[in-house]
Amino acid sequence: MFAKSLLVAASVAAVMFAAPLAQADTVKATATLKSDAPGAVINKYVYGQFSEHLGAGIYGGTWVGEDSAIPNTRGIRNDIVAALKDLHVPLIRWPGGCFADEYHWRDGIGPRDKRPSRKNNWWGGTPETNHFGTHEFFDFAEQVGADAYVNINMGSGSPTEMREWIEYMTSPGQDTLAQERRSNGRDKPFKVPVIGLGNETWGCGGEMRPEYYSDLYRQYTPFFHKNADNPAARVAVGPAGDDVNWTEVVMKNIGPNRMEAIALHYYTLPTGDWGKKGASIKFTQQEWVDTFAQTMRMDGFIQKHIAIMDKYDPEKKVALYVDEWGTWYDVEPGTNPGHLYQLNTLRDGVLAAANFNIFHKYPDRVKMTAIAQTINVLQAVILTDGDKMALTPTYHAFKMYVPFQDATMIPLDVQAPAYTLGGKTIPSFNASAAKAKDGHVYIGIANMNPIDGLNLSIDLASLKAKGVSGQVLTAPKMDSLNRPGAKPEVVPVDYKGGKVKGSTLTLDIPAKSVVVVRLD
Ligand code: AHR
């Protein structure tokens, strides 16, 4: 019961460092499915990925080169491509991040042995060989079956550099840039449905004020040449977290006719302190709760930015992209601090699902997101070590939520009891529902309560269902994890805790878990 859950929470706070944890209990909660009032389609791009030239994200994790002993296709690892195909990755954002605003696309085309080596100033000063450039990125995206989101350099580039890169990628004609692309091995234009103009221009991308950025954006706009060859959605740099002034100025000065999206960035730091963010493993129950308290702020940020967008764009022409999100912990001890390598535990899997449930609430605005980052960086979906690979708990959460891609959102009114520990309160769970393209209704639940199971009773209202099946992701410890080369500790299994009786669906959900069910 909830009251007991609070007591358990308080007693756990007192004995936080003494194993074993307090006795588990069951929280009871109810919800109502509004199947008669469906919302908008959850754009598949909500399940996007972000791959930056950072640490072992590209080099080693994605690109090993054609001569590598690691099985590859034209230099790109076969194991990660197969895993990402299984995830139905809809979109990959590249080449950064902060890296994008120092990247010059000409460095990454032509014979690889002739490409310049640069210093990756943002990420550890590591040499950047440029062996992974435009053609290699599109090969990667095409092997995975994902669309491409290319972020152009506004911080240290020029409108001409942007225009020429776009022409190089997209021109079907006989012009010199298209011919140069052909001479580098690609006849047909690349498909580029999304292009970002700058990255974090309030910070690493140029320390601009929103007034300056929006003027600069407007200067770039005429040279973007949005047309049949280049129909890409133009993504303006958006706010960090709750910087509503940035959104206000950019929405007002750029306006809905010059951009198709504005991009919010928000990272979850357990402590909220960039100086000491918190560890990726061996964390306490308090740190678990702190982390979820931080991640749940995403919902409020989205609401605030949407309110401003509604003012300047009542027709909802501009989408809110959350094109960087995820956990950001202190780096794994002994690794290069500039490479942002962290381990990925059950906490990350549950947190990913909790964020999906938030994104699903706003399908008419939140039309794309990208987790940071795909491989070996921050909240990675895949970790590699030499020829070994681990699918992280975050990967499994993404996989369980695949049916939500392009599904029609169904509002789910949830009464979730609060869970409090050490003065921090989180909802004990969140959930979302949608009618998938296969015709079935799916419900996803993130049980953020680290101790107590959940007995959730859902009123299906007019929806008729006979049975329920699904998958559950949980593990014995909060920081159970999957490491390359080791037996995975966190893998989804068939879910047997659901029952349909009349118009009521009852789900028994373990503590600290993700459950996705399908109604039959
Ligand atoms: O994802 C790592 C970095 O975080 C990105 O390069 C930057 O955009 C953000 O600050």
Q: State pLDDT tens for residues 307-363.
A: 999 999 999 999 999 999 999 999 999 999 999 999 999 999 999 999 999 999 999
pLDDT at 16: 35
| 24 confidence band (pLDDT: 50, 70, 90) | confident
Q: Write the burial class of residue 121 (CB in 10 Å: 0-12 exposed, 13-18 middle, 19+ buried).
A: middle
Q: How far is the CA of 97 from the centre of ligand 1 (A)?
A: 5
Please pick, among 128, 200, 260, 287, the residue that the annotation labels catalytic: 200
Q: How far is the CA of 120 from the centre of ligand 1 (A)?
A: 13
pLDDT at 7: 32
Of residues 23 and 481, more confidence is placed in: 481
DSSP string, 393-424: HHHHHHHHTGGGTTPEEE-EEEEPPEEEETTE
* Mean pLDDT score, 184-213: 98
Q: How far is the CA of 153 from the centre of ligand 1 (A)?
A: 14
Q: How far is the CA of 148 from the centre of ligand 1 (A)?
A: 18
pLDDT at 3: 33
Q: Is the CB of 102 under 6 A from ligand 1?
A: no
Q: Is the CB of 452 under 6 A from ligand 1?
A: no
DSSP string, 293-360: HHHTHHHHHHHHHHHHHHHH-TT--SEEEEEEEEE--PPPTTS-GGG-----BHHHHHHHHHHHHHHT
pLDDT at 10: 33
Nearest CA to ligand 1 atom 6: 97
Rounded to whole angstroms, how far apart are CA atoms 282 and 276?
Answer: 15
Told to judge if 315 belongs to the known catalytic residues of this protein, a careful annotator would answer no
Please state at what angle helix 159-170 crosses helix 176-183, rounded to 10 degrees.
60
| 18 confidence band (pLDDT: 50, 70, 90) | very low
Please name each of the domains of the chain with its CATH number.
Answer: 2-39+410-519 (2.60.40.1180), 44-405 (3.20.20.80)
> Which of 265, 268, 341, 375, when mutated, tests ligand 1's pocket best, judged by the most ligand atoms within 8 Å of its CB?
265
H or E, element range at 268: strand 261-268
Q: State pLDDT tens for residues 358-403.
A: 999 999 999 999 999 999 999 999 999 999 999 999 999 999 999 9
pLDDT at 23: 59
Told to judge if 128 belongs to the known catalytic residues of this protein, a careful annotator would answer no
Nearest CA to ligand 1 atom 4: 97
127 DSSP β-pair partners:
119
Whether 272 contacts 291, CB under 8 Å:
no
Q: Is the CB of 97 under 6 A from ligand 1?
A: yes
Q: Buried b vs exposed e over 152-161: b needs ≥16 C-beta within 10 Å? A: bbbbebebeb
Q: What is the mean pLDDT of the chain?
A: 95
Of residues 1 and 182, more confidence is placed in: 182
Q: How far is the CA of 339 from the centre of ligand 1 (A)?
A: 11
Q: Is the CB of 199 under 6 A from ligand 1?
A: yes
Q: Is the CB of 200 under 6 A from ligand 1?
A: yes
Q: State pLDDT tens for residues 403-457.
A: 999 999 999 999 999 999 999 999 999 999 999 999 999 999 999 999 999 999 9
Q: How far is CA 237 from the centre of its chain?
A: 17
Q: CA quadruple 436, 38, 264, 420: dihedral positive or negative?
A: negative
> Which of 200, 264, 274, when mutated, tests ligand 1's pocket best, judged by the most ligand atoms within 8 Å of its CB?
200
Q: Is the CB of 96 under 6 A from ligand 1?
A: yes
